[in-house]
Chain A
Amino acid sequence: AQSVTQPDIHITVSEGASLELRCNYSYGATPYLFWYVQSPGQGLQLLLKYFSGDTLVQGIKGFEAEFKRSQSSFNLRKPSVHWSDAAEYFCAVGAAGLTGGGNKLTFGTGTQLKVEL
């Protein structure tokens, strides 16, 4: 069965500092990988996704993530954090090869990001 681990429940960074949120997945084949962000009382907004190809993917709001098959990781990074980035971040894995949404996603438990001014 597929699973996702986000080892950091809470992370606090200073505004302007760099950020890395960790995500490890378990999946038997090539996965589809996603990062979503959730602000309080809001739904999930897609930051970026990896399906295939270049292992470094760029997303919205200056975020990027790198797929490392050998480490089963898909860590999210941002070089300079803004106060508005404070939110909860979820990594998710779905089934590859099933376009059109055959991907019932399995989510990690989330990482709550706090940004200190």
Chain B
Amino acid sequence: GAGVSQSPSNKVTEKGKDVELRCDPISGHTALYWYRQSLGQGLEFLIYFQGNSAPDKSGLPSDRFSAERTGGSVSTLTIQRTQQEDSAVYLCASSSIASGTQYFGPGTRLLVL
């Protein structure tokens, strides 16, 4: 009965570097979401995957942000050329068709120096 897991828990990087954040959804959940939580902006939707459909990328703040989901399970959020304003907690959630309820992981805390 594992929940959503995310890695790493914390990431410190230098401005301009690329980072990859990983999310393992609950087994069997077909939908996967990324959100960002920051002091200035609160909780914001970033991107949504549902099965084999094209992802909803409407929340990505810039083209430096991208995400993929391999095999309908694990997802990776990539931020290229990180900026200090990218510092935030990145939360992943997953849900099933039956419940429509999103279950969140513990988040990755990203600090860009």
Contacts and interface: CB of A to CB of B under 8 A. Distances in A.
Interface of A: 32, 34, 36, 42-46, 49, 51, 90, 92, 94, 98-110
Contacts, number: 72
B103 A99 contact: no
A34 B30 CA distance: 20
A109 B44 CA distance: 10
Interface residues of B, number: 30
A32 B100 CA distance: 9
17 contacts: A36-B104, A42-B107, A43-B91, A43-B107, A46-B103, A92-B43, A101-B29, A101-B95, A101-B100, A101-B102, A102-B31, A102-B50, A103-B102, A104-B58, A107-B43, A108-B42, A110-B42
Contact of A44 (B29, B100, B104): B104
Contacts of B8: none
Nearest to B94: A101
B113 to A, nearest CB: 20
Contacts of B27: none
Interface in B15-34: 29-31, 33
